[in-house]
Amino acid sequence: MKIFYSEEHRNHYPLFEVFDGGIRVPYYENPDRMDRILAALKVAPWAEFAEPEDFGLDPILAVHDAGYIKFLASCWDDWLDSDPEAAASPETHTFLPATFALRRKARPTSTVRGRGGYYMMDLSACIVAGTYKAALTSTNIALSAANSSFIFQNSSFALCRPPGHHAGKDYAGGYCFINNASVAANWLTQKGKTAILDIDYHAGNGTQDIFYERDDVLTISIHGDPDFEYPHYAGFADETGAGAGLGFHRNFPLPKGTDDVGYLAALDEALNLIRSFAPEYLVLSFGADTFDGDPLGTFRVTRAGFAEIGKRISSLNLPVAILMEGGYANEALGENTKTLLENFK
């Protein structure tokens, strides 16, 4: 299996986030996550590492708002220009918005903090000097995997960091800046019919946002019920698409404590929907935060469960571009990821 990876992600390492009332909590989505996965995969005889290609901005702008991407590109420099304290010691600072927009009436403002509140949905999508370039590279990793799956008609793995599935058309959130899965899937639609399956613990609200009114891509997310879990305002069972996209989005919100049996039952239903849609390609948003003991999840999926998840998705007999999303039980993350991947054909 080809595995696409770049060291560029190390330049995106915010020192802290604001989490559940905790101020300056160490950043959960950190480079150690990638190190754990790399250590596990480098000893796998089937793993073939490759650098990503540069696909330029066009595939990104086909999915995301141009004003939002411009904000990501300029935010850090604009903030340093406007904040002397941050400019004096940028290595100790992280950009976060001061307020958030009421999107029904909002518009981007002239100040960088105002634009931050418009283009960011929470306090976990922290921006530092290397964030934009890392996000671009992460998307190129996803596109390289999609291209490999198209060319070789097999499965590939995009070791993406930062992740992407919480990023919407014009906003960042949940550690995500550019929606890697959506960009890759939209690119693949030029090659054939495409579906997205999101198996991260948290609902893929950004992916839902991007494809909600489209009928050319089936999007499915299996996740913790947003009634109690992040992102709280998307991922409910009655959200099935709108307009032309009605019926082409499906959410499977699951209760706290969901184990292998409960998870696999939902997965089987999702896979039957994919079979009925009959795509030629699948983009898999893989988050290992469904694992029993993950600090940001409540599910009880085991390593054996990850093996079975891989087998059942592989049974679709489709070229699958597998993209890394979440997973924060770092000690187990490498082996869990390897277990899922080695069960793909």
Q: Which residues are catalytic?
A: 166
Q: Which residue has the tokens 């141009």?
A: 66
Output the CA–CA distances (angstroms, integers) from residue 54 to 3, 47, 133, 243, 337, in the order listed.
Answer: 16, 22, 12, 34, 25
The count of other CB atoms within 10 Å of the CB of residue 272 is 10
Of 159, 281, 299, give the one whose Cα is nearest residue 222.
299
Phi, psi of 198 (to 5 degrees): -110, 115
Structure tokens at 175: 């550690």
Please state whether the peptide bond connecting residue 279 to the residue before it is cis, i.e. omega within 30 degrees of 0.
no
Output the CA–CA distances (angstroms, integers) from residue 78 to 40, 55, 71, in the order listed.
Answer: 39, 26, 9
